[in-house]
Structure 1
Amino acid sequence: MDFPWLTVIGAVPLAGSALIAALPKALAPRARHLALGVSLITFVLTLVMAAQFELTRAGEIQFSEIHSWIGEFGVSYALGVNGIGLVMVALSTVLVPLCVLAAWNEIEPDRARLFFGLVLVLEAMMIGVFAARDLFLFYVFFEAMLIPVYFLIGAFGSSERRRYTAVKFLVYSLVGGLIMLVGVIGLYGSGPGGEQGFLIDNLTGLDFSSSTAERLMFVAFFIAFAIKAPMWPVHTWLPDATDEAPAGVSVLLVGVLDKVGTFGMLTLCLPLFPEASKWAAPVILALALVSVLYGALLAIGQTDLNRLIAYTSISHFGFIVLGIFAMTSTGQTGSTLYMVNHGFSTAALFLVAGMLIKRRGSADIDDYGGLQRSTPVLAAGFLLAGLSSLALPGMSSFVSEFMVLTGTFVKYPAVAVLATLGIVLAALYILLTYQRMFTGPIKEYAAGWKDASAREVWVIAPLVVVILFLGVYPKPVLDVINPAIATTMQQVGVTDPEPTVAEGENK
């Protein structure tokens, strides 16, 4: 039997959370040390697993584990990842140690056990949802993620609105999950049944009794994933959540959890409902385009730093969905790469913002000014992350955004042209924000601020290195993604448009 890598990688943070919960009250401050150690072990195990991933088979499911769980209902404990799942698991395990380190001095010692224990539980759920190969198991992880996030926002939010915000997040997510559950049940009823009737591989390529049934089930899944993503018009929970949540929690919420929505669209909606996906594509592309432009326009008008970053993410998720439902290999590869790149650039923005808010005690952009004089390292970190967010050539997001637009243009040129306005608007909301916060005369209260500490540098530096590296050399990630995208294209039954050459052009 092969080593159960995915089970072990998911179990380590769960075990770490249990150890943190068992710490006596006198040792509560040690919870952060234990959480950092456990998250680093999880990251190292992920690297070891990734080193054994076969690139020649990146389109196939590897590290598979299948065990009967609830045999009477066809539910299995089944895990496995292809190239797409691998990069998402890796993204999760990279960001968690940085978030733990960022929250090192932000959480009161007597509450450290609860906070860091919940973060580790959340990490385990994220790994599980990206690795699940049984639809019922996927649903369990999909819903279980809500619990630690609810408590992290409700218990550690920044104002009296934290409980309202936590409930709003929970209600939106639960409604989406319950709608998806109807689709899960319907899909099982359309499948072969038996002891492994929920296996995703067994449900892929079904011959549905009617196109109406397939379309209804697709809509049920898509609504849940659109809420999670989040897409316009079911996005309103996100700005509230990031406004309240600690910086590290916002990173995991936007950098990883929201990717479950786009991950589900790409790896579940398309392969399970190929005809319905093609049927719904024009409407979804229109919604994605609205998300791109709406999120960018609202970001320009924000005065709250956290809400600004949240609206930029709504715009970026619009680009990701655009690439997925353009249904070209270039667009879908770009979308998957975008998920990774957005995770790092947004993490850097949220974490630097959190460091500044901790110093000033305010998220109001107008409360800052001239900070490149007093905190040049933090200013540089914010600028580099912002330049990546606006897709400057040489930064990681440029490659993925260019691929999304190119892949969309070959089939939907008008949509791609309109979406490019999102890049112009991104330049406005990033550069104007930098100008307001970091240039000009320094505010009197900030003259004595200390620049980034050694711990803060350790938080920011790895993100900047990845942003720059993937900006000039994305090939390692693309080599993992491309075969998996080719498999998805085959499952959906679509091909890239043939290149067209004008008459006489080749003479």
Structure 2
Amino acid sequence: MSSLWLPILMAVPVLGAIVVALLPKGSDNLAKQVTLAVSLVVMVLTIVMAVLFAQDKSPDRFKFAAAYDWIPSFGVKFGVGVDGIAVVLIALSAVLVPIVVLASWHDADGVKTADGTLVTPKRSVKTYFSLLLVLEAMMIGVFAATDVFLFYVFFEAMLIPMYFMIGSYGGAQRSYAAVKFLLYSLFGGLLMLVAVIGLYAIAGKHTFMFPELIGAIQDPATQKWLFAGFFIAFAIKAPLWPVHTWLPDAAAQAPAGAAVLLVGVLDKVGTFGMLRFCLELFPDAAKAFTMPIVVLAVISIIYGAIVAIGQSDMKRLIAYTSISHFGFIVLGVFAMSQISQAGATLYMVNHGFATGALFLAAGFLIARRGSPHIADYGGVQKAAPLLAGFFLVAGLAGLSLPGLSSFVSEFMVMIGAYSSTAFGAGALSVASIISAVAVILAAVYILWMVQRVMNGPTAEPVKAFKDLNVREVFVLAPLVALIIGFGIFPKPLLDVINPAVTHTLTSVKVDTAIAEKGPGQ
């Protein structure tokens, strides 16, 4: 029997978006309130679903599954369902959206520059908040899709609301950033579409349902071509070096709330797709390409960290740190051990909270000063100690300080890659050792930014700063609580993630018992 949980989770924000869009002109405050209420309803429903998922002891891999005929002549279904990996990423999305709504309360009103000029948006306030709700529905759909064609539809449809959020409500170079984001993503999406059609035609099963396509392609050469189409699309979305250049521009020009969803959730679709589709549909190709992909991941880790050190723009700095973090996630995925893949999935969640908190704290600073440039600040802790404190905790999470959530996932990825024997004893240990250098570089770029922004003589414009108001505290406090909570006790997330990772490794024909043995054991 089909479950209605996931269709309802997608329908609620869509209906909310329609209500917000149909509100009479001048109802800006009501539009914000309705959006917040709808996002809170989705969050509560998602939490209930996650609890039920954790309590469900049935052997079925995909729970809350539903499948309805959509395009019967091609075997396309509206197929949805969640395993442990999908459910934690949907929960991440559902938690971040109401926080972003609160943080974005004035984002659609315009952006004030350092000289006091107000950059007005191209579209209305209610359009911005209806786009937020549409985006939430798409994010839930892309993680829940068990039909490969449906996944592709959501993968591409997510671009539309984000494109308008950047291009209509962003900074001075918003049009350039939005078009660059769109072109890169469309290019990757077209490659994936070709691979999806090829998968359907060659498998000959008259279905796009993911569980039925596992093992359908046996020829190694065919697997490699199809794998390449999927992987390039996901590498652009993640993004992985060298197809990363759209992210710093998009994150720097997007409103702070949109940047949180872009880096915190949308980019995770790339690493989720690698873990779900690249590995399970094309296991032989995944193994064949593992070493080149690990090299790209290590380059991303080191490159992102080094370039972040030289940034003068706070939002661009955070974007480059994310390129480094995504390198860790890809390394964890392709190390193909239980520890590394569980760590990579946990990293996706923890990165969303840590980077979200850092982007939002930076957004509150920029809203007060009108400038993203680090040199325009100094001595913020004297004028706004609460804001400085939240900024520091978010920054420490970004550098994976022990006791905070990012440390657990980063440590699991490095240990899992170092100890993995899926490709021979010690094959990935060098990659793990090199990636550890990024831990030192992270301390440099984060602490240097904190030092220049928060400490030292108080800049004249900073003296007039007001500390966080109640709304802003309610934005940052839940994220900091989650960062600390999952840093101390990540077990609830890992209990949900581990069975799904075991399924993945079984599909790829990696012995989890062997993959966890250290060199020489």
TM norm structure 1: 0.96
Per-residue CA deviation, residues 404-435 of structure 1 (Å, 9 max, x unaligned), is 00011124111100000011100000000000
Matched, 1:499 2:500: no
How far the C-alpha of 1:16 sits from its partner, in A, is 0.4
How far the C-alpha of 1:207 sits from its partner, in A, is 4.0
Contact 2:340 2:417 in 1 (8 A): yes
Question: What secondary structure is seen at the aligned counterpart in 2 of 1:65?
Answer: strand
For residues 59 and 441 of structure 1, the distance between their equivalents in structure 2, rounded to whole angstroms, comes to: 60
For residues 264 and 433 of structure 1, the distance between their equivalents in structure 2, rounded to whole angstroms, comes to: 33
Rate the CA distance shift 1:466–1:139 in 2: closer, same or farther, 3 A.
Answer: same
For residues 516 and 174 of structure 2, the distance between their equivalents in structure 1, rounded to whole angstroms, comes to: 52
Per-residue CA deviation, residues 476-502 of structure 1 (Å, 9 max, x unaligned), is 000000000001000000124363687
How far the C-alpha of 1:58 sits from its partner, in A, is 8.0
Matched, 1:112 2:125: yes
For residues 72 and 59 of structure 1, the distance between their equivalents in structure 2, rounded to whole angstroms, comes to: 28
Partner of 2:113: none
For residues 179 and 274 of structure 2, the distance between their equivalents in structure 1, rounded to whole angstroms, comes to: 25
For residues 92 and 123 of structure 1, the distance between their equivalents in structure 2, rounded to whole angstroms, comes to: 7
Matched, 1:169 2:181: yes
Matched, 1:365 2:366: no
For residues 76 and 204 of structure 1, the distance between their equivalents in structure 2, rounded to whole angstroms, comes to: 17
For residues 222 and 502 of structure 1, the distance between their equivalents in structure 2, rounded to whole angstroms, comes to: 33
Query: For 1:158-307, what aligned pairs fall within 5 Å after superposition?
Result: 158-159=171-172, 161-194=173-206, 197-208=207-218, 210-307=219-316
Matched, 1:448 2:464: yes
For residues 488 and 168 of structure 1, the distance between their equivalents in structure 2, rounded to whole angstroms, comes to: 34
Partner of 1:313: 322
Structure 1 stretch displaced more, 171-180 or 384-393: 384-393
For residues 56 and 423 of structure 1, the distance between their equivalents in structure 2, rounded to whole angstroms, comes to: 38
Query: For 1:367-382, what aligned pairs fall within 5 Å after superposition?
Result: 367-382=376-391
For residues 518 and 146 of structure 2, the distance between their equivalents in structure 1, rounded to whole angstroms, comes to: 39
Contact 1:191 1:202 in 2 (8 A): no
Partner of 1:76: 77
For residues 263 and 91 of structure 1, the distance between their equivalents in structure 2, rounded to whole angstroms, comes to: 13
For residues 190 and 217 of structure 2, the distance between their equivalents in structure 1, rounded to whole angstroms, comes to: 25
For residues 60 and 405 of structure 2, the distance between their equivalents in structure 1, rounded to whole angstroms, comes to: 23
How far the C-alpha of 1:448 sits from its partner, in A, is 2.5
For residues 17 and 285 of structure 2, the distance between their equivalents in structure 1, rounded to whole angstroms, comes to: 41
For residues 403 and 36 of structure 2, the distance between their equivalents in structure 1, rounded to whole angstroms, comes to: 31
Aligned counterpart in structure 2 of residue 324 of structure 1, from 315, 333, 349:
333
Partner of 1:29: 29
For residues 91 and 446 of structure 1, the distance between their equivalents in structure 2, rounded to whole angstroms, comes to: 34
Contact 1:59 1:486 in 2 (8 A): no
How far the C-alpha of 1:2 sits from its partner, in A, is 5.1
Question: What secondary structure is seen at the aligned counterpart in 1 of 2:124?
Answer: helix
Partner of 1:19: 19
Question: Unaligned 5+ residue runs, structure 1?
Answer: none
For residues 58 and 438 of structure 1, the distance between their equivalents in structure 2, rounded to whole angstroms, comes to: 52
Aligned AA (1:69): W
Contact 1:59 1:83 in 2 (8 A): no
How far the C-alpha of 1:29 sits from its partner, in A, is 3.0
Matched, 1:477 2:490: no
Partner of 1:336: 345
- The percent identity for this pair of structures is 55
Question: Unaligned 5+ residue runs, structure 2?
Answer: 111-122, 421-427
For residues 59 and 489 of structure 2, the distance between their equivalents in structure 1, rounded to whole angstroms, comes to: 19
For residues 59 and 363 of structure 1, the distance between their equivalents in structure 2, rounded to whole angstroms, comes to: 48
Partner of 1:91: 92
Aligned AA (1:492): V
Contact 1:66 1:78 in 2 (8 A): yes
Rate the CA distance shift 1:500–1:114 in 2: closer, same or farther, 3 A.
Answer: closer
Aligned AA (1:126): M
For residues 277 and 344 of structure 2, the distance between their equivalents in structure 1, rounded to whole angstroms, comes to: 15
TM norm structure 2: 0.94
How far the C-alpha of 1:50 sits from its partner, in A, is 1.4
Aligned AA (1:111): S
Rate the CA distance shift 1:367–1:274 in 2: closer, same or farther, 3 A.
Answer: same
Contact 1:59 1:485 in 2 (8 A): no
Per-residue CA deviation, residues 233-292 of structure 1 (Å, 9 max, x unaligned), is 000000000111000000000000000000000011100000000000000000000000
Partner of 2:151: 138
Question: What secondary structure is seen at the aligned counterpart in 2 of 1:434?
Answer: helix
Partner of 1:417: 433
Rate the CA distance shift 1:463–1:69 in 2: closer, same or farther, 3 A.
Answer: same
